[in-house]
Structure 1
C-alpha cells in the first residue's frame, strides 16, 4: 500500500522481496526508500540566468580530472592530458593561468601503439598525481604513454626539471586504472596496479623505508580497484600515544564464506584498509612490507553488488569527530536499473571493526572464515602505542615473529563497517553519482550542517544538506551541456566555490546562489544553510553584517514567512480568459519548486479536486474541459509545500453561452452607371486568354498523370509532402525534474509522425489512394504495447483531459510501432514523462 501513497517519480525501490527475491537485507522500512526530487532544477538550456555566475576554463588539453587546491595561496592546480595548469582560484577564467606542456614523446607513443593500445585515448601522458612535496616544489606523475614518469616541479618557476624520475612504482601505467595518491610528511603513499602484469598494491615511496603489501602466501589485495585515500591525524592529543593512519577505500573480489552472492558472477565488494604512518616493516619477516595492514568490508545496505564511487571525509576540528561520506551505485549486472546511494560512516565504526575478530583463509575451500584461535600480543596490525613502548616495542621492527606471521596470514577482519544509523542517508534511482565533496556550514540555529555536492555520470551537480538521517536535495544543476561524467570535485572555503573537473574542462561555481529564491517562501523552503531571508530578499548568511534580522529554518523548512506583505514580489495580477461554451481551456501555473503541489481556489474560497468533473490539475496548470457558463469566475493558483501556501497565478475566466452575433454586412452600393460598354475588341481578348489558360491546364494534367503512373510502377506511395524523418511527441505537461521540457525526437529511416495537443473535428481522415497490392500483415505487437496502445489514432482522441490530433503519418511497412528501437525509446519516454501527466496515474492512451 505504501507504493500507492507516493507519486511514481518519487519512488526509489519496491521492497527487496519483490525486486530481488529472497529475504530483504535492508535494515529500514520501505517507506524510507524514496526518490527525493530536488527543490530546484536548472537545466543547461534554462531560459533563466541563474547559471551566469559559472566560470569555465578549458584549453587545448583534455581530461581535466586531477585537482589540487591551495586555498591559502589562491591557486588551483589542474592535471590534464599532456599539461598541468595553475589557475587563479578566485576566477579560473580570468586568463592568468600558467601552463606546463608535458606531452608523451613520439618514441613512447610509437611503443604504446606497438603494444596494441588505443592511439586516441591511451597513448598520451595523463597526469594522475599533483601534490605539494615541500615548501618550494610540487610533485607530479603521469602515465606517459604506458611508461609512467614523475617530476619535482619548482612551484615559482612552474616548469619541468631537466631530468624526470621513473614512475613505475608511483603511478599507474593505464589511465583507466583506479588510483589514489597522497604526500604525507614527505612520503608518497599511492595505491594502484603499477604494471601490466603486477598485482594491486599499496606502496610508500620518497621515504627512507619504502613499503608495499604482501603477495604470498595470501594476497592481501584481490584484483582491487582503488577509489580514495584519507589521512587521519590520530596522534594529535591521543590519550594512548597512537599513530597517524591512512585509510584506503577500494573495490575487490570477495571470498568470504558468509557472503550470499550470485554464484554466476564474481562478487566484488567495497573495502576499507588501514596502515600506520610510522610503520617501518618487519626486521626478518615482512621486510619492506606493511606490518599494520588490515582491511574490512564496507557496506551501505542497498541491494547486492554495491560499487563504491567516491569518498570524502569531514572532521569537526578533532580526529575523533571524523565522518566519512561514500557514494555507491549498483553494479553492471543490474543493467536494467540505475541507482545510487550515499552512506555516512563514523570513525568509531572503523575502529570497532579493526579491533574485532580476524578471519583466516581456508585452502581447501578457498574461502575466508572466522578465526577463533589465540591472538598473539601485542595485537597484530595495530600501531605502536604507549602500551607497546612500555613492553619494549618501540617500532614495528621490534615486533616478535609470531605477531608478524599472524599479520601475514590474517589481513581481513570479520566485522563489517556499517553506516551510521544502519541505513543509507540517500537512495536515488536513475542517477549515477561519480564524484563527491562535502562542506560543513554553520546555520542560524547554532548547528553545523554537512552540505554534499554530488557529481553525476551525465554532467549534473546535485547539492544536498544532511538533516537528521536523510539528505534533502536543495538543487540540481546541469553544469555540462554535453553529457559527460563529473570526475572530481574540490571545495574552497576561502573563495566560497566548488570546482568541477571533467573531460572537457574545469568549472567554478559558487557554493550558493541565494538570489535564485525570489520570495520568502522559496528561501525558507529551500532549507539551504548558506541562505536566509532578511525581509526583502534571500541573502547569504556568511556575508550578512547583522544576523539578527535573518530568518532561516533548515530543520523543518516552514517557519519565518508569516508576514504576507514581505514576500519579495507583488501578488500576481489577474489575467482574463474568455472561451465559448463547450471549449477546453488551460490556465497555466508553473511551479518553481519540484516539491510544490498546485492548489486552485475558485472565487477565493472553493477548492478544486483534481480529476473530478470538468477539472484536471497538472504540474503546469488547470485544464477545464467542456466548459459551462457556471464555470465563469476568479481562479487562483497557489503553490503548497511543507505546510506553506504562496500565490502563483490568477485568472478571470468568462464562459460565453453562445457565439457573439455577427453584425450584418453593409449593403454594397451598385456600381456607378457608365455609358461606355466594353468594346468587341476587348471581348475577343478575354476569350483568347481563357482558351490559352484552358490549354495549359490540359497539358499540366497530362504531365501529372504520367508522373503518377511512374510512381505507381516503383511501388512508392507518399501521402503529403516529404518531411524530416522524426517522430515528435509533445504534451501540455511539464517535467517535474526539469529535463522533460526539451523535445524528444525518435529518428526513423522514413515516415513522419507528429502528435501535438489540439482540437479537431472527429470526422475520419480522408480516404487514401488504394495501392496496387495490399501490404503484408504486420507482425504481432510486442508485449510492452499490448496494453492500451492497439493502433495509432488518426482522429482526435480525448483521454484524461488531453486532446491530441494526428497531423500526418506516412505508411512504410512495417509500422514504426513494430520497430524494436522505437519501442525501447518510447518506453524510456514513458518512464521520463509518467510523472508529468495531468492526473496522478499514468494512462498510456494519453500519449
Structure 2
C-alpha cells in the first residue's frame, strides 16, 4: 500500500492540485454536484454555497445566508438543546427539484423548515414551508433524502418521537411506514438511499424502486452474551416501489411494498453500516452496492472496518424468498412456512398483477395487505457477491465511500474506491477480482475530524470532500508522483501508466502504445535497472565497537526491506547477532573493522526489487594515545598505553608531585591561620564535608531560570556545562573568607584533554548515547576522596583509547 506524503508535505506538485474552500460557516456536509452546469452546491450550517466545480477556490462562489432566527434559537434553548451545536440551521437536504429550482431543508434550531431556491438568482429564500415531515429535528440523527420524479423520499427520525420512519411527500400521495406493534423499523439509523430504475426494459413491467440502507436493532435475534441489556444491531436493506399508493382500507397512507432484509458481511460483529455507494455501468441489471461496516457497539474499543460488495440480483433474490413471522409464544421471529397470498405481498404492480385486475396498490385484496403488515422481514440474507468481505482493515474507521469505474490499459474496467476515514484521511484503492489493493493513503485534514461526504466528478477528474471545516477538491490521480517504472507499476493505479520516462495519466495520453501498466498483477513491464530511481550513496564513519543505524525508509507499506553487505544478503535470523533488521533500517551493533564496506537496501514487493539506499560504512580502528615531549611544567610524559609498567610509574609520579604541593600548601595555611588567630581578625569556619555528585546532562538542560539558563547558550555542543559545587556557605561572609584552594595540577596538553582544560571536571560518555558530568568539590589533600580523583584520572586516560577525532566526517556517528 503506497503511503504518500499528506497534504501539507513537501510534495509541491500534489499541493498545487489540491483546492480548499471555507467561509464563516461550519459543517460543509451536504453536497450536490451538477456536472453539466459545472456547479457544486454545498449545504452548511446557516448557509448554502454555489461553487465553481472546476476550481472551488477561485473566489467566484455565491452564497445564500439561511440562519435560524434569534426567536427560534431562544425557543431551542428553552427545550434544553445545545446552543453551540444544535440551535442552528443545519442544511440536511439539497436536491434538484426542476430546471429552475433546488429544494432545501434545514433543522432550523429544532424547528425544521424547507424552501425553494431559484438557481438563476440565488437569492435568500423568502417563502418557507413546514419541514417536520421531511427533515429531522436533531442535526445528529442519520438522514437520507432523494427527489425522484418530483416526489421527495426521506428516511430519518422525525419530530421528537424515537421511532424512525420512511416517508414520501411533495407531489405524490404522502406515505409512511406502519406503526404496528411489530415496528417495521426498530431504532433504525439511516445512512443512504439509492434509486434503481428497474422499470427500464423490464420484461415483466416492473416499477422503479428506492433502496434504503440502515442499521437497526435485530428483532429476530436474542441479545448477545456481550450485551444482554439490549438487542444486537444489524445492517439492513429495505425497498419501496416508486408508484406505491398505499392501501384502500388497510394500510391507508402506508407503504404496501415495504420489505427489509439483513445485509450480511460475514464478519462477526461488523454490523454497523456507515455508508453505501452504487454503480450500474449504464444498465440497472449490473448494479452493485459497495458498503462500509464497522464494529457494533460492544466492540467500539477496537477500530476495524470492512467493505463488502453486493449484486442487485442477490438483493432481489432475498426479497423474493421466504418471509419471517413473529411468534408470540416464543417472542421471536422465525421462518414462515405457511401459505402466501396472491399477488405476492410486497411486490410492485407488474403485468401479471394487472392481468388479474390489480392496477395499483389500492386494488390489492385485504389478505395481501394484512400479510404485508405482519411480515415485513425476509428470512434470506443478502450475501456478499464474493462470499467474503473485499477488505478488512484494522485501526481505521471508514465513514464515507465513493467509487469511480475506470478502463485500464488492458481493456478491463476496474472500480477505484475512495474511502474517507474518521480522522481526516482518504484511502484510494482498486478492486482486483475478489480483493482490494490500497493504492495510497492521504491525510487531507490536519485536524483529526471525520470525512463527512465524498462526491466524484468524472468531467473535472476531481474528488470533492465535505467536512466540518470546509470542502476540498482533490485530483482523482497524481501519476506524476511516481518517479520510477517500479513505483508506477507497483501502485497498480488504473489511471496511470509508465511511458519509459515518466508516469503519465492514461486519459491525457493519446498514443498508449508505449505505456506500461499492470493493474491485475502489479509486477509486469519493468525489467531493467534503468527503471529504478537513482539512489545517492551516503557515507557513515564509526569507531570500532560503536553502534550505527542505517535508515531505509520504504515508500510502500507492502514492501519488505532486504540488505546486501558487500554483495552478501543479510538474513533475518542474523538479527540475533550484531545485525538487527527493523522497520527503521539496519542496526549494526559493536562494529568491527571487517564490517566496513558497501551496504545496499532494496525494497522488495510483489516479486520486484528496487534499490532504495546505498551506504559506504567505514569502521575506524582504536587510536593510540600520542607521546608528549617533556616541558618545564611537565617534566614527565605519558608513555604509550600498551606499556602498563611505565604508565603505573607515571601515575605514582603525578600523585607524589600533587601530594608534595598539598603538603606545602597545608603548612602555609596553618601558619596563616595561627597568625590571624593571634591578631583576632579572622577565624576559620567549621570544616564542611566534601561531596562528590554525579549528574546527568539532561537534568542540566532543563530550564531553571536565572543564570543557569543564560549559561546554556554559551555551549554550542548542547547543555554540557560544569555546575559549581553545592557545599554550604560560610557562616559570616563579612567576617570570614573561604579557605585558599590548593593549586591546580599541571596542565595537560590540549590534544590529551580533548578540549577539557581543567581537572577534576571530567566528561564521560555512557552507553554511547548519553553523557554524564562528574562534579567534585574542592577538598584538602588529606581527604579520603583523593584516591577517587586518582581513579578518575586513570579512567579518563583509559577512555582516551576510545576517543578519535576525525576531520570532515560525512554524517559520522563520532
TM-score, normalization by structure 1:
0.74
State the 1:334 CA deviation.
1.5
Taking a change above 3 Å as real, the CA distance of residues 120 and 486 of structure 1, as seen in their structure-2 partners, is same
**Does 1:83 pair with 2:47?**
yes
Structure 2 match to 1:39 = 2
**Does 1:410 pair with 2:342?**
no
2:97 to 133, 153, 164: 133
CA distance in 1, matches of 2:351, 2:616: 81
**Does 1:581 pair with 2:529?**
no
Structure 1 range deviating more: 179-188 or 436-445 = 436-445
State the 1:363 CA deviation.
3.0
Structure 2: runs of 5+ lacking an equivalent: 634-683, 689-697, 706-716, 718-723, 729-763, 774-814
1:48 to 3, 7, 11: 11
3-state SS, counterpart of residue 455 of structure 1: strand
8 Å contact kept, 2:222–2:231: no
2:455 to 482, 490, 493: 490
Structure 2 match to 1:776 = none
8 Å contact kept, 2:766–2:772: no
CA distance in 1, matches of 2:436, 2:79: 47
State the 1:664 CA deviation.
6.9
Taking a change above 3 Å as real, the CA distance of residues 517 and 797 of structure 1, as seen in their structure-2 partners, is farther
**Does 1:504 pair with 2:504?**
no
Structure 1 match to 2:317 = 352
Taking a change above 3 Å as real, the CA distance of residues 346 and 767 of structure 1, as seen in their structure-2 partners, is farther
Deviations 1:100-126 (A, max 9, x none): 000000000000000000000000000
**Does 1:114 pair with 2:78?**
yes
2:331 to 351, 355, 366: 366
State the 1:209 CA deviation.
1.1
**Does 1:308 pair with 2:273?**
yes
2:172 to 193, 204, 208: 208
Equivalent residue runs for 1:419-568 within 5 Å = 419-567=384-532
Structure 2 match to 1:71 = 35
State the 1:182 CA deviation.
0.2
8 Å contact kept, 1:152–1:160: no
Structure 2 match to 1:602 = 565
Tell me how many residue pairs correspond in the alignment: 658
State the 1:197 CA deviation.
2.3
CA distance in 2, matches of 1:589, 1:253: 49
3-state SS, counterpart of residue 333 of structure 1: helix
8 Å contact kept, 1:41–1:594: no
8 Å contact kept, 2:223–2:230: no
Structure 2 match to 1:380 = 345
3-state SS, counterpart of residue 42 of structure 1: coil
State the 1:146 CA deviation.
0.5
Structure 1 match to 2:285 = 320
Equivalent residue runs for 1:196-235 within 5 Å = 196-197=160-161, 199-235=163-199
8 Å contact kept, 1:257–1:369: no
3-state SS, counterpart of residue 299 of structure 2: coil
Structure 1 range deviating more: 297-306 or 281-290 = 297-306
3-state SS, counterpart of residue 548 of structure 1: coil
**Does 1:104 pair with 2:68?**
yes
State the 1:806 CA deviation.
8.5
Structure 2 match to 1:285 = 250
Deviations 1:705-753 (A, max 9, x none): 9xxxxxxxxxxxx96465499xxxxxxxxxxxxxxxxxxxxxxxxxxxx
Deviations 1:381-421 (A, max 9, x none): 00111111111111111111111111111111111111122
State the 1:322 CA deviation.
0.5
Taking a change above 3 Å as real, the CA distance of residues 586 and 660 of structure 1, as seen in their structure-2 partners, is farther
**Does 1:171 pair with 2:149?**
no
Q: CA RMSD in A?
A: 2.9
State the 1:242 CA deviation.
0.8
Structure 2 match to 1:618 = 582
3-state SS, counterpart of residue 529 of structure 2: coil
Deviations 1:243-271 (A, max 9, x none): 10000001111110478664233321111
Taking a change above 3 Å as real, the CA distance of residues 719 and 496 of structure 1, as seen in their structure-2 partners, is closer
Deviations 1:463-492 (A, max 9, x none): 111111111111111110011011111111
Structure 1 range deviating more: 554-563 or 61-70 = 554-563
Equivalent residue runs for 1:258-273 within 5 Å = 262-273=227-238
Deviations 1:764-821 (A, max 9, x none): xx99999xxxxxxxxxxxxxxxxxxxxxxxx9997xxxx764889xxxxxxxxxxxxx
Deviations 1:272-305 (A, max 9, x none): 1000001111112111111100001111122226
State the 1:605 CA deviation.
4.5
1:162 to 126, 132, 136: 126
Structure 2 match to 1:572 = 535
3-state SS, counterpart of residue 591 of structure 1: coil
CA distance in 1, matches of 2:725, 2:569: 49
CA distance in 2, matches of 1:257, 1:223: 15
Structure 2 match to 1:243 = 207
8 Å contact kept, 2:224–2:231: no
Structure 2 match to 1:181 = 145
Structure 2 match to 1:646 = 610
Structure 1: runs of 5+ lacking an equivalent: 1-37, 670-700, 706-717, 726-757, 759-765, 771-794, 809-847
Taking a change above 3 Å as real, the CA distance of residues 406 and 537 of structure 1, as seen in their structure-2 partners, is same
Taking a change above 3 Å as real, the CA distance of residues 797 and 807 of structure 1, as seen in their structure-2 partners, is closer
CA distance in 1, matches of 2:564, 2:442: 33
3-state SS, counterpart of residue 575 of structure 2: coil
CA distance in 1, matches of 2:223, 2:318: 17
8 Å contact kept, 1:268–1:305: no
**Does 1:333 pair with 2:295?**
no
Taking a change above 3 Å as real, the CA distance of residues 159 and 662 of structure 1, as seen in their structure-2 partners, is farther
CA distance in 2, matches of 1:378, 1:660: 102
State the 1:173 CA deviation.
0.7
